[in-house]
Amino acid sequence: MDIARLFSSMSDAKEDNKGITKEDWMEELRKVRIQRSEMNRIVLDYLVTEGFKEAAEKFSQETGLKPAVDLDMLDDRIRVREAVQRGDIDEAIQLVNDYDQEILDTNPRLYFFLQQQKLIELIRESKFESAVEFAQTELSDIGEKNPEFLNELERTMALMAFEKPEESPFGDLLHVSQRQKVAGELNSAMLETQDQRTTSKLSNVLKLLLWSQSQLNERNVKYPMMTDIATATLTETQKK
């Protein structure tokens, strides 16, 4: 029994339009045998790709697996990520430029996201005058040259129209996840310069899972949908 048989079962269910119950799906899963070493390699790949050096070192020691790259190569990416996550965008930009100035010179989208994040940090600190001035001097030209950025700029500026920006319709920009998104974009760009994959194998598997579920939803197939990836919670969908 291998993972291909699971997808074959799902495919058969789609063809006859009967779907598959949660109980039947769990029974199929119990028949799958995945080697622990393979799971360990996937975990280590994720830790290295995302730049979690200490965790990767400890995991490598515990499992006896050797990382695909020298873990000291993670240091630059770690410093950039930490700067973004604490909201110090100027330092993040300086660190990236020290690492490889071409990253931001050749990637206007990434440069915009960094400047947008700096604007967000000014708004977070209620430095509204500085935020307006920064938007006018640093971001307005970028928006004019790249219309695709205008919507994000407008969303960010709209935060200042609310007494409690974090509770506004655009409050997601002030969430920690926004910093993580920018840090992730930078991490991927730096990995490219090292000729490494920009996404981990685990991330690709999760993307495939979400895509597969969207395809089943479009076809109105009854199946056990993973509604919470963090806890692997399955909820049986109902045909419309």
Average pLDDT for residues 132-157, to the nearest whole number?
88
pLDDT of residue 34: 80
| pLDDT > 90? residue 90 | yes
Beta strands in the chain (DSSP E): 224-228, 233-236
| pLDDT > 50? residue 44 | yes
**What three-state secondary structure class fits 224?**
strand
pLDDT of residue 110: 94
| pLDDT > 70? residue 236 | yes
Q: Concatenated DSSP letters for 144-183?
A: HH-GGGHHHHHHHHHGGGSSSGGGSTTGGGGSHHHHHHHH
Average pLDDT for residues 203-213, to the nearest whole number?
87
Buried b (16+ CB within 10 A) or exposed e, 7-27: eeebeebbeeeebbeeeebee
| pLDDT > 50? residue 4 | no
| Domain parsing of the chain, residue ranges | 3-68+199-236, 74-193
What's the pLDDT tens digit per position in 48-79?
A: 999 999 999 999 999 999 998 889 989 999 99
| Prediction pTM value | 0.77
Nearest alpha carbon to residue 136 among 115, 113, 155: 115
